[in-house]
Structure 1
């Protein structure tokens, strides 16, 4: 009997957890699928495009407060070009070639504020 009660509790908690899950939003835009993923607080977590089932085009990620964390481009599932990452007081620019890091530059807000 104790096993059935534990199993029942697990099933109920699984159903409750599944109901609280925030589902992504998909829409067709110019022949691509625009995907928007959300945090549990309802704010956008990331947004970008799929084409032929692969990541394609611009992707942007945000923190739970809505601040931009990263922005970059995919070409048929491969990271390409310049990506930008914001982390506290730093901005990093990462150049990708065939999904491999080719170059990294980082700036801190102190360095940018002290420039004249």
Structure 2
């Protein structure tokens, strides 16, 4: 019985840490990459061009909710990236792969209230 319990615990532990392989699809000159969390939910999605990150990339939490989105040019973060953490949205501007500015905004107040 003790051996069975140990084997069951080990099997569950290995299952919890199972790796989901990423997928890669050729689309014209670019390669679309999709990475996954251990639970099978998408973790990141974006493109490579000449083996460098290129274009829009999106990141998701383990529940499948978008947590970040931004652009790469030739492997370098550019422009304004958006990050979501609960009700807070942050806008982070990048210049030459370095943070240039950060601004945060809370959830917008409703336009109509039924009080």
TM-score band, normalised by shorter chain: 0.7 to 0.9
4+ long deviations beyond 2 Å:
none
Alignment match, 2:109: 113
Aligned length: 99
Structure 1 residues 1-116: aligned runs within 5 Å: 20-109=18-107, 112-113=108-109
Unaligned runs of 5+ in 2: 1-10
How far apart in 2 are the matches of 1:30 and 1:106? 37
Higher helix share: 1
> How many angstroms does 1:30 deviate by?
2.1
> How many angstroms does 1:27 deviate by?
0.4
Q: Name the TM-score, length of structure 2 as normaliser.
A: 0.79
**Aligned with 1:56: secondary structure?**
strand
Cα RMSD (Å) of the superposition? 2.1
Unaligned runs of 5+ in 1: 1-12
